[in-house]
Structure 1
Amino acid sequence: MKRAFLFGAVALASMGSAIAANATTITFDSFGGAYPLYSPLPPGETLYTDFSSGNPGTGTGTLYTPSGESQSGDQAGSYVAAPYTAAGSTTGVFFATTPGETETFTFAADVEDVAIYVGSLDAGNILVIHTTSGDLMYTGTQLAAVPGASLPGDGAPTITGSTSNGRFTFIDSSADITGITVSENLAVSTNSFEIAQIATSVPELSTWVMMGLGFAGLAFAGGRARRAAVRLAV
């Protein structure tokens, strides 16, 4: 019984470690940061799309081909600020929504984290992270509170600002991420939610192994306890 109890305790500890490893975090790298656009992705990440060959979403967002630092949007009189690279040049074709538009990107498999390279963060941006335990919504103002990121003093987006162009990484909290939805607040009259790149990563093998061992340990301990109870009854 003692050995079974100890084995179960170790299994629970392993599960706890695996869950703790998935604590929710949001980080930001500016376009000149550790992982600027068009640089190698961090180890373990896979490119979902860079929007250079089409829009994999299911909503009404639009792809844009920049011409200079700003370009006409899909609504009369609207302009969008292209995401910038560490070299200070526009990213080429990129995705954008204008006010009232929405786009959902559903991943083929559940992932542990998602990284989104945003151009000219705007207070009116709305990002929803879909997870297996529910949705998490962030406004541009909330994203601006992530260390390293910020909005300009007037709250409007900038085209080349390192604190409003960059890579936000969302690490899942005890549940897998299934996709994201982006939209722009209707109160915003011109600017858009621009994305140049989306990357994802699946749970590390070690996490699955620890969780598997944890469940196996609990099953083993439960079986030993049941057999011991039967022997005592006899």
Structure 2
Amino acid sequence: MSKLVKHKTADTPPSRRLPNRNVMVFFDKLAATIDEPVTELEYSSNFELLIAVILSAQATDISVNIATRKLFAVANTPEAIYALGEDGLKEYIKTIGLFNSKAKNVIKTCKDLIDKHNSQVPDNRKDLEALAGVGRKTANVVLNTAFGHPTMAVDTHIFRVSNRTGLATGRTVLAVEKKLLERVPEKYILDAHHYLILHGRYTCQARTPKCGECPVYEECMFKDKQKFAEL
């Protein structure tokens, strides 16, 4: 998962706005087809989640899980990973993109957690974003998934889905995040991030969206949905 970007996507210009009357129906249908709205990153503690999300920047969840299964088996606390050092950590994460900079950030984060937070993951945005390798989106993931805060972590999938469907149109990630927080029904606010990312990952894909299989086809405002449904 990457940090905030401030550019528009080339393949997904904003669509017409999804009417308010269809927003609840939109999420009802997603909920009916996505049984488990959870992250696909593997973790067993808030600390493991934080490290996995940091490592997932510009990498797939699958590649991160492969690396962290081995890493967390031998080191899954700030003290244990810090003891590995950068070089030791790199041996476990070298199959992940940008592993050199990620190793440096993870070691710095572990040191700060030990020195400043009693080895606990902070439950507030200010302290999370002060950690190395943690931007707004990573903080949003941790706040939502670990602590149940109603935040919206907008990655490339969610940015695309939100614009393409008309759910939350915007030229920047922050604009889309704010609109999602305004429009997502309270009933779904805690799980909306996962519903949208999974929908984007497996159905509303970037190059060839599977419109013919889409549960929200009728509500979606994507102007080319019929063309893709006929492929």
- Which structure has more helix as a fraction of its residues? 2
Find the structure with the greater CA-based Rg: 1
Structure number with greater CO (CA < 8 Å, separation at least 6) is 1
Normalised by the length of structure 1, the TM-score is: 0.24
TM-score (norm 2): 0.24
